[in-house]
Chains A and B, each alone.
Chain A
Amino acid sequence: MPVHAADEEDYLSQITAEVEKVDAVTEYTANESGSGDSRAYLENKTDFEKLLEENYHGSYVFYRKLPERAQLEIFDDYRDGQEISVLREKIIDRYMQ
């Protein structure tokens, strides 16, 4: 479908007018990185482990063999937004140490 400049301008002005009718959404966020009580923190770790087990079983097997401190380090990196591929490498690194 070709985009005509006049149609586009008209559309833009109408959606710009419409946005005035919108109230900002109520922000529903919880447990941002580094916050939350210890119980929620551990539960999220369990959630992370489930993700690992379901999608990267090989890495999960090595992860389970790591000491608790190394597991927490991996999980902290996960919560900081580190990519899974980097975490998987780190799991192997920690296991080989």
Chain B
Amino acid sequence: MHSDADRAPHLPSANVGAAASAAIEPAPPDRWPPVAGDEPAPATLEQFLSGISARAFRFAELGLRQREDALDAVQDAMMRMLGYRERPSAEWTPLFWSILRRRIVDVQRRSAFRLRWLQPATTHADGDGAVDWIDSGPDPSRQQDNHEAYARMATALSALPRRQREAFSLRVLEELDVAQTAQAMGCSEGSVKTHLSRARDTLKRQLEDFR
């Protein structure tokens, strides 16, 4: 049986093994990764993957609620992306999110089979009971405020239906346009707008003080 991630639409067969031998150039870890329309497109696929890895982890963390599962999903998505390095760089962003989204669905199905969802929703594999966050920083008080605010936001996002969470994350947080979001989600643009509207309504009710 093929996994859901194997059914990415309109993707040619990937030569992952050969592509994996190429060099990876890590981006500076403190640099905010480029978003659509914000900075020029990365020159190489390795730069693209390095820049998107932190956001991809947050996206996977919202869907999987397990740190190790999220890391595995991101790594698997990056491995599969290496097979599409010949694609134009403009296609990388929706392609990557499409692959990662399908990978997350696969992991969710396996987790449901293992009855992991019986555990509390915010519990991580190492038992810290919160989203992953840096322990120290130049301004500990501000770090703590940001941590608590993101934890509330992550809890609200995780409680959304999967399609609504995907639409909001990709369209609003990742700033993909409607067409790219629809491509990444494998649905119509109208469906994206419907999911996004419902997600925003729910989130605004739960996060009234976010402004």
Q: Do A and B come from one complex?
A: no
B residues near A, CB below 8 A?
A: none
